[in-house]
Amino acid sequence: MKMLPNQQMDSQLSELSGRLAMLQLTRAERLQIRLANMKEQVSAKQQERSDKKKKKLAALANLMDLNDRDRLHEAELAKKRDSEPKSSGPETMEDDGFCTVSSKRKTKNRHTIRSTPERPTEADPDKADEPQSKRIRNDEEAGGDNIPGDTLVTLSEEQYKALSADLRRRKRRLQDFPALRLREMGQRALLETPQDARTPIFLSDIQNLLMSGMIGQKSPCRPDRWCSIEKWVSLSHSVVVILEGLSLYHYLSNESQFEASNKIFNTKLELMLPQQGEGMIIDEIAQIPLTSVQAKKLIDQHGSLESAVALNKDPTLFVRGIFPIEGRQEPGMELPQLHPDDKFPRTKLLLSALQMVDEGYPIPLQGELHSRFRSYKFTKKSYKPVTNRSPMYGVDCEMCRTVAGVNELTRISIVDEEYKTVYETLVMPDNRITDYLTQYSGITEDIMKQVTKQLKDVQKEVSALLPDDAILVGQSLNSDLNAMRMMHPYVIDTSVCFNISGVRRRKSKLKHLAMTFLKETIQENEYGHDSIEDSRATLKLVKMKLANSIEFGDEILTQHKRLQEIANACSGDSITNNMFAYSAKRDRRTAIVNVGGLQPRLKELIEKAEQVVPKDNSTAVLVHEVATTKEAVRKVTEIALENSLTIANLSIPEEDFLLDRAERSAVKIDKVIERLWNTVAHNGLFLVLMGGSTECPKGVAKIAIKRLNGTEQTSAPIGC
């Protein structure tokens, strides 16, 4: 039907009026109209997505509930198995301390799964053998409502928010667990590493690990040399089991008998122990601050915990077990006998065996280091114990490059504490010289023409010159000893005890140290370095440090002391600053369970810890002396959760590992370890230290961190 002219005109007028009305609207009003239209279009899709999200969340909550019930059910079954008498058949399995969650769901006696009415199959016999999951999908596609378990209903907004918050808490709890990662030095110590390539960790490494667990991230002694701890703040507590008398040989000879232990521990390391007769492992472990209050006392006394650790350590402890040192320094004798020029013991500047390994010093340690330094000579056939009055000698060597592709000794200088030259000679290398390195060594071809003395002659003369307790002083003395192809137990390295960079691994040159502290200019000779001048400079630096303090010349210790003073001034109480906030907050202190009486040295350490505790506080260190191993295990199970650190010191008689009793004894020890493992809480650190024996001084360190489901974490190497 054709529109009349008047009607067509009316339609055009109404359209024009509508357009005019839109033009008359403000821009804001037009935007509001468009937004309203867009909201109407997307609101339906948003609501649909929101409903799907809530249904998925409800399904996840249902699944989590099923998993929780499964774990409880498995735990109940495990308890029933434990309560039932165990048969002697081959299929009998003992509880290994793990909560096992089966991956296959049984159809019988599964009280944790929500019951579902059986679907009739007579009406559709083709579906009788159809899998349950497939029937569910088919029902959903067909719009069926019969979902197994509780029907998933749409959540309200409040339920959705509450469930989301609960899931976030669960996620944080699962992610917030500590982990131990081995670094290169830790991997070298693994028992799975071949013996000729294995380098053990030291007992001080274990001390550093425990101190980090007690004090936290601000611990002055961190185990970064061999491992790293992730999420250290989540460690719930630590349990240390010391098995005195059980050696690496005993363990490896009966490893198959440690069934439960082998399931618990994936991290098993060879452990370097003190020389037999030098003290028990527990004596050394107890050297760490046993409480945060004791740590505060050490700070007040020494300025910082770093300085306190440096002054309280015994650097020669492991050296005495590596080098041929005769005799034994009686406890308490060396401390009062300071040298007249020293303000603190010079023995505190000695490198420990651990530092010697890290700094590349030649050291007769078994394994890879033994193979490397097989041809080296000791500076003496035997040594006396070092004291605070032992003489110091400055040593410096100059080297030239030979056809062997290495730098070989061509000059050596030794000066005494009076800065007098007591030995100086040129040396003809065993191999032909290709580069005299004159700009550094000062050696030229003309100088070496008349030289006939060889390295073996120098080794004999140096050995005859040095006293049995001599302390060698030098700048990066490892290079000099390697050039001399000699090993010495008592060493002070100015590149270690002096640090002006504030970074431990960034070393300063001797020239800069001499200018900074001695105000002397050295190594300015255009013909090369002077080894006598360098020897005197290192001795002067060490004597200056001894005349001041342990922090002198060490920017790292100085910074720690300065920061501690600032924290004390700001807070008024150092125990409330961030360094000890964690340990003070959870200061459940330390418990020691010892079979038999405590050794005098350990008693002295505990008394020191008690002296710094306020009178209104409870006992700083709880000591439980028991008669038998069985009583010790029972006591640990009672108190482990009440303390930050629990140490169980158990003694294994030598006769227990005689040939006819070794396997039976290993099984008993394995059961003890398993029972103590079961007492460890979630996120608890568990260490078993096998303390060696008179026949084999090597020990074993087993480390695990317990997870929520009862299994230990797997130690994995981290990238360098």
For the stretch 628-650, pLDDT in tens is 999 999 999 999 988 888 999 99
User: In angstroms, rounded to a whole number, what is the distance separating the alpha carbons of residues 387 and 384?
Assistant: 9
Q: What is the pLDDT of residue 708?
A: 65
DSSP annotation of 257 reads G
For the stretch 512-562, pLDDT in tens is 999 999 999 988 877 778 899 999 999 999 999 999 988 898 887 776 655
Per-residue pLDDT averaged across 679-696, rounded?
A: 87
Per-residue pLDDT averaged across 300-309, rounded?
A: 48
Asked whether residue 715 carries a pLDDT value surpassing 50, the answer given is no
User: In angstroms, rounded to a whole number, what is the distance separating the alpha carbons of residues 78 and 80?
Assistant: 5
Per-residue pLDDT averaged across 31-55, rounded?
A: 73
- The pLDDT confidence band at residue 605, using thresholds 50, 70 and 90, is low
Q: What is the pLDDT of residue 211?
A: 79
Which has the minimum average pLDDT: 223-227, 267-271, 326-330?
A: 326-330
Q: What is the pLDDT of residue 5?
A: 60
Higher pLDDT, 129 or 30: 30
Q: Is 9 helix (H, G, I), strand (E, B) or coil?
A: helix
DSSP annotation of 514 reads I
Asked whether residue 615 carries a pLDDT value surpassing 90, the answer given is no
Angle (nearest 5°) at CA 472 between 467 and 477:
145
User: In angstroms, rounded to a whole number, what is the distance separating the alpha carbons of residues 550 and 556?
Assistant: 11
Count the Cβ atoms, other than its own, within 10 Å of residue 266.
16
Q: What is the pLDDT of residue 686?
A: 94
Q: What is the pLDDT of residue 46?
A: 73
Domains of the chain are 180-288+578-706 (3.40.720), 316-328+338-561 (3.30.420.10)
Residue 649 near residue 617, CB atoms below 8 Å: no
For the chain, what is the mean pLDDT? 76
Spatial neighbors of 420 by CB under 8 A, at least 6 apart, are: none
Beta bridge partners of 472: 393, 491
Which among 491, 544, 490 has a CA at the least distance from the CA of 513?
Answer: 544
Per-residue pLDDT averaged across 17-34, rounded?
A: 66
Asked whether residue 143 carries a pLDDT value surpassing 70, the answer given is no
Spatial neighbors of 703 by CB under 8 A, at least 6 apart, are: 180, 209, 265, 267, 269, 685, 686, 687, 715
Asked whether residue 3 carries a pLDDT value surpassing 90, the answer given is no
Q: What is the pLDDT of residue 611?
A: 57
Which has the minimum average pLDDT: 130-144, 370-384, 600-614, 667-681?
A: 130-144
Higher pLDDT, 521 or 615: 521
Q: What is the pLDDT of residue 148?
A: 44
The HSE-up count of residue 494 (CA atoms within 13 Å, CB side) is 30
Q: What is the pLDDT of residue 232?
A: 79
Asked whether residue 428 carries a pLDDT value surpassing 70, the answer given is yes
User: In angstroms, rounded to a whole number, what is the distance separating the alpha carbons of residues 367 and 191?
Assistant: 12
Per-residue pLDDT averaged across 251-262, rounded?
A: 92
Asked whether residue 146 carries a pLDDT value surpassing 90, the answer given is no
Which has the minimum average pLDDT: 70-74, 240-244, 589-593?
A: 70-74
Per-residue pLDDT averaged across 647-670, rounded?
A: 89
Asked whether residue 11 carries a pLDDT value surpassing 80, the answer given is no
Which long-range CB contacts under 8 A does 626-632 form with residues at least 24 apart? 626/593, 626/594, 626/595, 627/595, 627/596, 628/595, 629/595, 629/672, 631/595, 632/593, 632/594, 632/595
Residue 427 near residue 451, CB atoms below 8 Å: yes
Asked whether residue 435 carries a pLDDT value surpassing 60, the answer given is yes
Spatial neighbors of 167 by CB under 8 A, at least 6 apart, are: 57, 60, 61
Residue 333 near residue 386, CB atoms below 8 Å: no
Residue 671 near residue 223, CB atoms below 8 Å: no
Asked whether residue 625 carries a pLDDT value surpassing 80, the answer given is yes
Angle (nearest 5°) at CA 679 between 675 and 680:
120
For the stretch 485-506, pLDDT in tens is 999 999 999 999 998 887 777 8
Asked whether residue 10 carries a pLDDT value surpassing 70, the answer given is no
Q: What is the pLDDT of residue 34?
A: 75
Per-residue pLDDT averaged across 204-219, rounded?
A: 78
Beta bridge partners of 401: 407, 435
Which has the minimum average pLDDT: 450-464, 562-576, 597-611, 669-683?
A: 562-576
Q: What is the pLDDT of residue 486?
A: 96
For the stretch 50-105, pLDDT in tens is 777 777 777 777 777 787 777 677 767 766 765 665 444 433 334 444 444 444 44
